[in-house]
Structure 1
Amino acid sequence: NALSLFFSSLKTTFSSVVRVRPNDKDAKMKYQECNKIVKQKAFERAIASDELKRSVVDSLDIENMTIEDDYAGPKLEDGNVTLKFMKDLMTEEITICGDTHGQYYDLLNIFDLTVCNVYIFINAIYTHRDFVDRGSFSVEVILTLFGFKLLYPEHFHLLRGNHETDNMNQMYGFEGEVKAKYTAQMFQLFSEVFQWLPLTQCINNKVLVMHGGLFSEDGVTLDDIRKIDRNRQPPDSGPMCDLLWSDPQPQDGRSISKRGVSCQFGPDVTERFLEQNKLQYIVRSHEVKAEGYEVTHSGKCITVFSAPNYCDQMGNKGAYIHLRGSDLKPEFHQFTAVPHPDVKPMAYANSLMQMGMM
């Protein structure tokens, strides 16, 4: 404790010197060394006294992260994300460019096309169904989306998809991309944040939005969904798995999913769920559609897919939806892919996955 107090006092002293003489490199270096020691001592005390699982955030030393003198990119204002910061971030050429399942440039195109106060990204907004994987600019996409979440926390909503999970990120590229552009610790931080993303959103008690679809069994209520422990990697079955993985089918009933997990659900399943929960329809993603969207189950199940020319191969349109009026009638808007730098999809994926794209 005495040693910690000593270095804490030194830190305060050097901090005062740095404020008075900001160009004094020796003082700045000594301040950083003292600060590092103080944090290390605090960390050791925490480990000794606290057996609870610690967040990756606690191990980040943000204060001592250095920014190169010649850095001319986006800058926070007093530590806060601003609209100017987000505009600078989206046009910043230093960012590693790419697609968004990581189709980043198509994501920017959506922002250009939409004039809307509330964005709901159904974790398929830019790549195969979800925020990340497959496309090689997932980092740019997710940082842009998180930035807007910080800028408009009450109006900008992000939902979790089946690709906001560790096993998918390991296979389809996001883990490799983050490690190539940043560090393994950074991927752990993303993984931790993904686990806190909501699984669904209910709009005006009329429309339920999720990534995958409905459930393997009848009787699931909105209260049941609220009670799901989402802060984890998803299980192989159950409501959490279904919300991330299931798909609609044209015939009544349920069948085994072609994906090997969860199920396919028919119009009768959708009708019963909506009636029980007093909802009008559901909006989901999870499947590429030639026109960018598809309306099924007598208008009560809508699929929207926002990654045009998916993986630079599919030739599909992208789409987004505007919900208008008290009845939340959906309006569909289609768009096509925009040019992007010549970095191929799956560039950071597991080598076996890359072979599958050839």
Structure 2
Amino acid sequence: MTQPTAVDFKNQGNKALLESKYEEAIELYTKAINLDSTNAVFFANRAQAHIKSEAYGSAIADASEAIKLDPSYTKAYYRRAVAKTAIVRYKDALPDFKVTVDRAPNDKDAKARYLECQKIVRRLAFEKAIEVEDEPSVAETLDIRSLKVEDSYDGPELDIEFVKEADSDKFFPKVNMTKEFITQTIERFKVGKLLPRKYLYAIVLQAMKLFQQEPTMVEIKAEMPDHLITICGDTHGQFFDLLEIFRKNGEPSENHMYLFNGDFVDRGSWSCEIALTLYAYKILYPSSFFINRGNHETDSMNKVYGFEGECKHKYVSESVFKLFSESFSLLPLATLVSDQYFVVHGGLFSDDNVTLDDIRKFNRFSEKQPGMHGIMMEMLWTDPQPEPGRGPSKRGIGIQFGPDVTDRFCKANGLKAVIRSHEVRMGGYSEEHDGKLITVFSAPNYCDSQGNKGAYINVREDGELNFVTFDAVPHPDIKPMRYASQLMGM
């Protein structure tokens, strides 16, 4: 029987890529490379599969290898540029876009991305030049009392009291949230209607007060046999799939805690609706509804992957996104569930000496955005790897950590497992690192293209985990990434 050639594996990889089977495509291109490591096309094609699976660091490495093998291979420069912009390395991407445009002047997509990248680099330079160190926050300057609810609004009324703050002339909105308001608002969102900006501002401000009172690592447990904790992973603006979780698993209540483990905005086209729904539930059930911060609850991601654009499109206001941004910077970074499970969006650390006590003491308010180094960045960005030790991140940001790292962290902190999100899992969840590392992802058929299941985890009083998977449900014909930057939305 004839053995497959490198070209055979490459062709099979191309087919898998077209069918959105990205991990399979990566494996097939890797087989082609193992048989022939001198062909630039194999590396460039694997770079594209890495881009599709959001492994941008690996994509940059493969595109760079393709360029090294064949400096005339224009497509490799283009893919490297796309991968760099995905991790907001705009200045680094410009030279690669320029090579592409110079060599392929008729490529409209490449030219549009090049011009958009130039525009972003100029805008960032301008913003840095006029940056004010102590610029007042939107939360402090909004005058919600004077805002009127539009006469055309036909939705539920939100009960807002305005309470005068001590030693100040300012009045703070106090929201009296009800289950009926949330239910009616969800129905409103389902048919494409919005909340008035006055209500939005009041909800976000009230949620911010609650987040600010919570520690960097929240600690929760099911106290009674009839109590339940549900842990959800990324929902990424997939509002109708969020509603499927509540339909299938039960709505939040005082006895049914929910923990959303970050990345509830960006990519999907209903991020505003998800954020407002989660915040409303937080106000209604402050002691049983919790939200961790993810790497997409950050400005750099929101400006590229759609949340900023969505806020401006739906609410025609700069202040809406800025207020949400301020709320994201107050979110807790982790949750300890039942004293046994450390729940964090990304993963573990570059230093074995980091403990739960270090996280408890960490001042998350000292840096609003996570930056490229440090504990906050690692909690939001890191990923597991099957090999022992630590390695460079396939994303191009943070690190990867092996089973030995997870084992040492669990033993040092008396944990059964680390639960994280941050990555698609085709079955909705995975158990790795000898069962001590669990990934849960709650956005089924991610971006309408991946074909994956969604999942959530139920934790009962005895601490046992029950994994539940679910399929994507139909949604209105609005595509993912509709509001994203042109760099990502093409």
TM-score by length of 2: 0.59
Aligned to 2:139: 57
Name the stretch that deviates more: 223-232 or 285-294. 223-232
Q: Secondary structure at the match of 1:63?
A: coil
The answer to whether residue 306 in structure 2 is matched with residue 173 in structure 1 is yes
Structure 2: how far apart are the matches of 1:318 and 1:289?
Answer: 8
Q: Secondary structure at the match of 2:145?
A: helix
Structure 2: how far apart are the matches of 1:228 and 1:353?
Answer: 34
Structure 2: how far apart are the matches of 1:206 and 1:306?
Answer: 22
Q: Secondary structure at the match of 1:140?
A: helix
The answer to whether residue 215 in structure 2 is matched with residue 81 in structure 1 is no
Aligned to 1:284: 420
Quote the offset at 1:58 in angstroms: 2.1
Alignment-mate amino acid for residue 111 of structure 1: F
Quote the offset at 1:100 in angstroms: 5.1
Q: Would you say the 8 A contact 1:96–1:137 is kept in 2?
A: no
Alignment-mate amino acid for residue 309 of structure 2: G
Q: Would you say the 8 A contact 2:296–2:302 is kept in 1?
A: yes
Alignment-mate amino acid for residue 154 of structure 2: A
Aligned to 2:148: 66
Structure 2: how far apart are the matches of 1:325 and 1:150?
Answer: 24
Quote the offset at 1:53 in angstroms: 5.4
Structure 1: how far apart are the matches of 2:363 and 2:415?
Answer: 23
Quote the offset at 1:52 in angstroms: 6.5
Aligned to 2:193: 95
Q: 1:120 aligns with which of 232, 238, 259?
A: 259
Structure 2: how far apart are the matches of 1:268 and 1:325?
Answer: 29
Aligned to 1:208: 342
Name the stretch that deviates more: 55-64 or 331-340. 55-64
- Matched residues, percent identical? 54
Q: Structure 1 170/52 Cα, relative in aligned 2: closer, same or farther at 3 Å?
A: closer
Matches within 5 A, 1:242-261: 242-261=378-397
Q: Structure 1 100/265 Cα, relative in aligned 2: closer, same or farther at 3 Å?
A: closer
Quote the offset at 1:204 in angstroms: 2.4
Structure 1: how far apart are the matches of 2:194 and 2:269?
Answer: 9
Quote the offset at 1:229 in angstroms: 2.7
Quote the offset at 1:75 in angstroms: 1.7
The answer to whether residue 476 in structure 2 is matched with residue 341 in structure 1 is yes
Q: Structure 1 335/96 Cα, relative in aligned 2: closer, same or farther at 3 Å?
A: farther
Quote the offset at 1:74 in angstroms: 2.2
Alignment-mate amino acid for residue 184 of structure 1: E
The answer to whether residue 297 in structure 2 is matched with residue 164 in structure 1 is yes
Structure 2: how far apart are the matches of 1:235 and 1:339?
Answer: 37
Query: How many corresponding residue pairs?
Result: 297
Q: Deviations for 1:174-201, whole angstroms, at most 9, x for unmatched residues?
A: 0111111121111110110100000000
Q: Secondary structure at the match of 1:216?
A: coil
Matches within 5 A, 1:1-358: 54-77=136-159, 79-92=175-188, 93-95=191-193, 101-115=236-250, 117-123=256-262, 130-182=263-315, 183-231=317-365, 232-326=368-462, 328-355=463-490
Q: Would you say the 8 A contact 1:100–1:136 is kept in 2?
A: no
Name the stretch that deviates more: 146-155 or 58-67. 58-67
Q: Secondary structure at the match of 2:247?
A: helix
Q: Secondary structure at the match of 1:150?
A: helix
Q: Deviations for 1:17-70, whole angstroms, at most 9, x for unmatched residues?
A: xxxxxxxxxxxxxxxxxxxxxxxxxxxxxxxxxx96533112212112111234
Q: Deviations for 1:295-343, whole angstroms, at most 9, x for unmatched residues?
A: 01111110000000000000000000001242x1111101000110111
Quote the offset at 1:144 in angstroms: 0.4
The runs of at least 4 aligned residues of structure 1 exceeding 4 Å deviation read none
Q: Would you say the 8 A contact 1:95–1:140 is kept in 2?
A: no
Q: Would you say the 8 A contact 2:235–2:442 is kept in 1?
A: no
Structure 2: how far apart are the matches of 1:212 and 1:95?
Answer: 33
Q: Deviations for 1:233-262, whole angstroms, at most 9, x for unmatched residues?
A: 002112111100001111111111101111
Alignment-mate amino acid for residue 89 of structure 1: T
Quote the offset at 1:206 in angstroms: 1.1
Structure 2: how far apart are the matches of 1:354 and 1:71?
Answer: 32
Aligned to 1:35: none
Structure 2: how far apart are the matches of 1:139 and 1:343?
Answer: 14
Quote the offset at 1:353 in angstroms: 0.3
Q: Would you say the 8 A contact 2:235–2:441 is kept in 1?
A: no
Alignment-mate amino acid for residue 91 of structure 1: E
Q: Would you say the 8 A contact 2:293–2:331 is kept in 1?
A: yes
Q: CA RMSD in A?
A: 1.8
Aligned to 2:165: none
Quote the offset at 1:94 in angstroms: 4.4
Q: Secondary structure at the match of 2:176?
A: coil
Structure 2: how far apart are the matches of 1:195 and 1:275?
Answer: 30
Name the stretch that deviates more: 332-341 or 112-121. 112-121
Q: Structure 1 163/52 Cα, relative in aligned 2: closer, same or farther at 3 Å?
A: closer
Q: Structure 1 122/180 Cα, relative in aligned 2: closer, same or farther at 3 Å?
A: same
Gaps of 5+ in 1: 1-50, 124-129
Q: Deviations for 1:124-161, whole angstroms, at most 9, x for unmatched residues?
A: xxxxxx11111111000100000000010000000000
Q: Would you say the 8 A contact 2:343–2:419 is kept in 1?
A: yes
Gaps of 5+ in 2: 1-132, 161-174, 196-233
Structure with the higher fraction of residues in helix conformation: 2
Q: Would you say the 8 A contact 1:73–1:94 is kept in 2?
A: no
